[in-house]
Structure 1
Amino acid sequence: MNQITKRILFVGALFVALGALAYPKVKPLFTDSNTANSAAASARSALQVDAVRVGTDSVEDKIFTTGTLLANEEVELSSEISGKITDIYLEEGRNVKQGQLLLKINDSELQAQLTRAQYRLNLATERESRQEKLLEKGGISQEDYDATLNEVNVLKSEVALIKAQIEKTEIRAPFNGRVGLKYVSEGSYISPTTRIASLQSINPIKLDFSIPERYVNTVEVGDRITFTVQGTDREFQGEIYAIEPRINSQTRTLQIRARSNNDEGLLVPGAFADIKLVLDTIDDALMLPTIALVPEIQGQKVFMYSNGQVMEQRV
């Protein structure tokens, strides 16, 4: 191989090496150009969208809130006087009727006082009857007769007072309901501060909840509610029967009370309830997918297709 041939091979190898080194630098120029052409072509193609035919449907304007179940009537049984328990007639967890005797306190001393007062009253009544006949015949003065009649009336009042004290030794159910757990036993000495048991009426049952003040003028007595409680998948119905006449200045809410039937006893006072209150029902509302709404500074808008054209429509 002569000298000239060697130079030609060296120059060729040099150009190949330089080309290999320059290719990575030059490639983006051609790539960017192709990408720009592709983007321009895509821009010139039609925009693909999903269209929805608008229809009417029934829509409820409703509030979701929470509340607490309450007994329709509730009382803590207690004694008006102090004394030793002689008999307990209540059974824990059982239903009782209004006026049913639940507990008896020792009244032996009061019974003795009542017997003595009745004897004295009977004697005074007989004397008053004899003196009345004498008064008609003039055998006794009016003053003596009036004194005897006054004694009779005083003794009647004394008998009534003792009977009232005896009634306080008996604790009776003030209404139909269910007795809770008892905390006393026969022979216990109790006072007006002693906890005996609770009595609750839970059918119907009450429901307390609150709503924001902006709904004050949209809620009325008689409005229906639905609610659920833990422990059951059933949905219960209720009706508003009372509304607090003022707004709570601390929470800015309005207190509301509803009532619901509890024939099966599934609702327990103190339970937490999830409540739905329907404020209004729109029978012919236009329904749109939420994704179709486009937010604006002044509100929201949608794009509407009509007669082959697309136009904006504020909603």
Structure 2
Amino acid sequence: MALLVVPRFFGDEEPAGPAAGGAGGPRGNDTLAVTVAPVSQELLEDRVTTTGTLLPWEAVEVRAEVAGRVVALNFAEGSFVGQGQTLVSLDTEVLRAQIEGARTRRDLARTQAQRYRELFEIGGLSRQELDQADSEARVLDAQLAELAAEVRRRQVVAPFAGEIGLRQVSVGAYVAPGDPIATLRITGQLRLEFTVPERYLGQIREGQPVRFSVPGQEDPFVGTIYATEPNVDASTRAFTVRARVRNPGGVLVPGAFAEVELVLDEIPEALLIPTASVITGADSTTVFVVRDGTAVPRAITTGVRTTDRIQVTSGLSPDDVVLTSGLNQVRPGQAIRTGGAFDPTQVRPASTTAEERAYQTAD
């Protein structure tokens, strides 16, 4: 939170003695030691920071569709599997015996239907008898197809290509319909999910870049926004945003915590001064600038505020130098001595977060 500094311009108690200056005159001869800082001009990023979570691009819990005994596991835990690859095979011995029986009956029915057709052509039987024979053959075809489908349902396959997790079953185990087998994820591309306060809803757009960092990784990463939740959560007054993140090397892990930084606007050649140099009054915002060895007050208007600096939208020029200390003692026109200079290496990058903007001064 910015410190409110109120200068004592008027009504200061004058000390007795020679230090007060000449007879009847103000303390204009007193020289005040101060520190100063030049106005900097640079690119300013207006940004919002939040936290998010990395999620797999796609994830599904692979489950058994039917009941049965596990006879084969066809994947290695943590490996990559292809789309349609058989992961688990359930026992199909009884079904295959039923298929053999159904196939024999179907073949016999087809042969009989062919004979009936030949007899029908020479008038040896009626159309009804021929239709009955054809119907029996078709029913057996349907039964055979149903049994084949039951066999396929006992082969649990990967719905898409991805990384398979730890298995939850073993060979010989009996699984019921819906029992989990393993989790399948797409991790070569991830989703970064985070929330943003509702006041920024109009500033978030598809294709907008997002910077983020994760624990254990020194370098930051970049994603691209591809979707936003159209509704605002009434309890948090925030909305959900999703960004696409490329992860070809598998460096990023689903479920990881992420510190997210979203640039909302870029202000080229913004004028910035230390927040310590700003005097905020009830109706005005003022700084003291250095002019010919004296301190001259200057009214300014401000914009975006960062942790250590504030944007000046009017009242200063790039070649101005402002006081950063002695603001409680300095008087307009007072002679000053620059006993030190503001250290620009201690200034943070020109950017502002949502929390910092809550303390902005709009004049």
Give me the TM-score of the superposition, normalised by structure 1. 0.82
Distance 1:234 1:87, change over 3 A: same
CA deviation profile, 1:214-265 (whole Å, cap 9, x unmatched): 0000001111101111111121110111110100011110101111011111
Does the CA contact (< 8 Å) of 1:226 and 1:237 recur in 2? yes
| 1:94-113 map, 5 Å | 94-113=79-98
Residues 1:226 and 2:240 are matched in the alignment: no
Aligned to 1:8: none
Count of aligned positions:
281
1:186 to 150, 171, 177: 171
Deviation at 1:304, TM superposition (A): 5.1
Residues 1:177 and 2:162 are matched in the alignment: yes
Moved more, 64-73 or 40-49: 40-49
Residues 1:37 and 2:30 are matched in the alignment: no
CA distance in 1, matches of 2:162, 2:16: 83
Aligned to 2:339: none
The structure with the largest alpha-carbon Rg is 1
Match of 1:43, SS state, is coil
Does the CA contact (< 8 Å) of 2:210 and 2:225 recur in 1? yes
Aligned to 2:246: 261
CA distance in 1, matches of 2:290, 2:122: 116
CA distance in 1, matches of 2:290, 2:301: 14
Q: Which consecutive unaligned segments of at least 5 residues does structure 2 have?
A: 1-14, 303-363
Distance 1:122 1:55, change over 3 A: same
Deviation at 1:40, TM superposition (A): 1.4
Match of 1:248, SS state, is coil
Distance 1:274 1:299, change over 3 A: farther
CA deviation profile, 1:78-118 (whole Å, cap 9, x unmatched): 21111211111111111111111111111111111111111
> Which residue identity lines up with residue 135 of structure 2 in the other structure?
N
Match of 1:196, SS state, is strand
1:69 to 51, 54, 65: 54
| 1:1-315 map, 5 Å | 36-41=16-21, 43-44=27-28, 45-50=30-35, 52-298=37-283, 300-303=285-288, 310-315=297-302
CA deviation profile, 1:140-196 (whole Å, cap 9, x unmatched): 221111112211221111111111111111111111111211122111111124332
CA distance in 2, matches of 1:171, 1:277: 42
Does the CA contact (< 8 Å) of 1:305 and 1:311 recur in 2? no
Match of 1:145, SS state, is helix
CA distance in 1, matches of 2:153, 2:160: 17
Aligned to 1:14: none
> Which residue identity lines up with residue 219 of structure 2 in the other structure?
R
Match of 1:288, SS state, is strand
Deviation at 1:53, TM superposition (A): 4.3
> Which residue identity lines up with residue 244 of structure 1 in the other structure?
E
CA distance in 2, matches of 1:122, 1:305: 105
Does the CA contact (< 8 Å) of 1:304 and 1:313 recur in 2? no
CA distance in 2, matches of 1:313, 1:237: 37
CA deviation profile, 1:40-96 (whole Å, cap 9, x unmatched): 149332445555443531111111110011111112222111121111111111111
Aligned to 1:12: none
Does the CA contact (< 8 Å) of 2:66 and 2:178 recur in 1? no
Does the CA contact (< 8 Å) of 2:284 and 2:299 recur in 1? no
Distance 1:293 1:90, change over 3 A: same
Does the CA contact (< 8 Å) of 1:302 and 1:314 recur in 2? no
CA distance in 1, matches of 2:270, 2:156: 60
Distance 1:120 1:39, change over 3 A: farther
Report sequence identity in percent: 36
Q: Which consecutive unaligned segments of at least 5 residues does structure 1 have?
A: 1-34
Match of 1:245, SS state, is coil
Give me the TM-score of the superposition, normalised by structure 2. 0.72
CA distance in 1, matches of 2:40, 2:144: 82
Moved more, 137-146 or 44-53: 44-53
CA RMSD in angstroms comes to 2.2
**Which has more helix, going by share of residues?**
1
Deviation at 1:139, TM superposition (A): 2.8
* Structure with more relative contact order (C-alpha pairs < 8 Å, separation 6 or more): 2
> Which residue identity lines up with residue 300 of structure 2 in the other structure?
Q
